[in-house]
Chains A and B, each alone.
Chain A
């Protein structure tokens, strides 16, 4: 049973990993994040239905089968969440990574802060995020103004989590130690 759950969760993640590259290579706009999660839902559903069928065929009862599928789903979702936060999200939208890339690209000569800010600044950052939210449907552009009509969006989840971390840890981060 243990190996079934592990194989189910890691297998689901590996299939997703391969498929999300194929799918996201076709996406040209900034809606990669919703597509990422839609791909995961599709792969996870298919993989866990398959896991349930295999588990039943091996003579396991309904309750153990449901347990295996639920546990495997939980683990594969956590695995995908870790990948999303630790690699995908960082590569897709991290300002720190972009800065690092700009400095490495400058080579041995390096780059001054002023030059860096002409290539990459708050206006570019805001424009990119507005374009991303419009593409994902989280906000709408109506002429010159932006509005939001969705009562809830996926992007609020990490914001709420981070808010929770601020509350739990208090003023103990780098800002208060510099």
Chain B
């Protein structure tokens, strides 16, 4: 069990270094620094080495898996933050909870196409999943496998179009 706590502590330390690195690069040099998350890769190698060769215990694989899963969850939240994915679901929920009873029309006054759709289109353009030419949006080649997976997944789940 000691290895589990070491793994958790190592994750927290790596996350702290990542936050400092990201803030320093983003504010100090004015660069986009989502790649600062790559710090988790060498960190995983080091914790793997520590768990297998330095820290006594019988759970090296599980402890390493714990580190990877925490890092994965961190990555997903970090990406939501980085791309400013302010969730309309949360906003709807907060509006109803704080200002309810509230009508649909009153809720709609708090939303716009710019905030919900255009912002996402711009992010997709920035990430080069979409390209814009002649006033029209086109899918970039790297978007096709994702769109295919999405179609397959939604068919598997028998879902209508998402969003």
Could you tell me which A residues sit within 8 Å of B by CB distance? 1-3, 5-6, 9, 21, 24-25, 32, 67, 71, 74-75, 78-79, 81-82, 85-87, 91-101, 103-104, 106, 108-113, 116-117, 120-130, 132-133, 138-139, 142, 144-148, 153, 155-156, 158-159, 161-162, 165-166, 168-178
Please give 5 more A-B residue pairs, beta carbons under 8 A apart, in addition to A101-B151, A165-B77: A2-B61, A116-B121, A116-B137, A126-B108, A174-B126
Chain A residue nearest in CB terms to B24: A172
Judged by DSSP, the binding face of B is helix
Q: Interface size (B, Cβ < 8 Å)?
A: 84
Q: Which residues of A contact B83 (CB under 8 A)?
A: 96, 173-174
Taking a contact as CB atoms under 8 Å apart, the answer to whether A82 and B90 are in contact is no
Pick the contact of A139: B58, B96, B124, B146 (CB < 8 A).
Answer: B96
Taking a contact as CB atoms under 8 Å apart, the answer to whether B150 and A130 are in contact is no
Q: Which residues of A contact B116 (CB under 8 A)?
A: 95, 121-122, 125
Residue B17, interface by CB 8 Å: no
Taking a contact as CB atoms under 8 Å apart, the answer to whether B76 and A172 are in contact is no
Chain A residue nearest in CB terms to B158: A25
Taking a contact as CB atoms under 8 Å apart, the answer to whether B65 and A126 are in contact is no
| Contact A6 B77, CB 8 Å, known A100-B146, A117-B117 | no
Q: How far is the CB of A99 from chain B (nearest CB, A)?
A: 5
The complex places the Cα of A106 from the Cα of B60 at a distance, in Å, of 49
Q: How far is the CB of B40 from chain A (nearest CB, A)?
A: 14
Return the 4 tightest CB-CB contacts between A and B, nearest first: A98-B163, A172-B26, A110-B136, A145-B101
